[in-house]
Structure 1
Amino acid sequence: MFGVQPGDSVMAGEKGEATRFNLRMVYQAAIARRLIEAGVDREVAFGAGARFAHTGHGGRYPGQLFASGATVLVYVPGVGDGADSVRLVNTPNLRTIELGDLFFGGTGGCVAVLVNTVVLEINERIEATIPK
């Protein structure tokens, strides 16, 4: 089979020290792009994307969706002590009010990225490049 599969690593062919490039990095960049388009600072957006791509918790492995329900990345600017907050939520229901209640007691603002859609779009594009 051709193409990059989940968990695969390939060498990026640039000068200097070799860089590892894998599908999790693509997910990170795609999530960051959506956050940047919503007005989040680039450095913060890439850090938020790394929470999904490179860390796991709650039965979810790095770069993988939760086994059931939706995987939602929620970015909240300046909460509590003024630090930004990034959380990955496993929710069976995507009603906005539930996300608001979960993170702000119903007040404030956030940027939410439905990670399931990001992963699906990338995987479909990769599959489209594989010769049949």
Structure 2
Amino acid sequence: MTIDEARQLRAIFYRIEATAQNAAPDARRSPSHFTVLSPIIQEKNFMSYIKILCEDCEKVHQILRSEMEYEPVDSEVREMGEEITYKGSFGIECDCGKAIKINHYFWEYPQGIENHKATEVSGGTPVENTL
């Protein structure tokens, strides 16, 4: 599933949820309201990784989740509290000179639970992904 498909599904789900609760479908908080990344999520996924095959030379690179810097990029108040979208980015240059970039998104909801994730890669192809 691509990140765009995931966003479309989430938007549909939120509209259904908002309609059921008679709430505004776009009740979002500003970035100043984000909470700190949950320690439960940090511990659970510290050693997860992605292996990427360079699209030019076919060398395999492994990136650990702990090497990625995550930041909250979106937040929404829902029935069981705040849902927070995090984005982690990492870029490397292959020995052949090809730039490889990874964007990993995950959604924490309810607090302490990773309920969805998506990964985008440019410059290579994921061959194994446990992020």
Instruction: Tell me the TM-score normalised to structure 1 length.
Output: 0.29
Structure 1 or 2: more helix by fraction? 1
Structure possessing the higher relative contact order (Cα contacts under 8 Å, 6 or more residues apart) = 2
Structure 1 or 2: more strand by fraction? 2
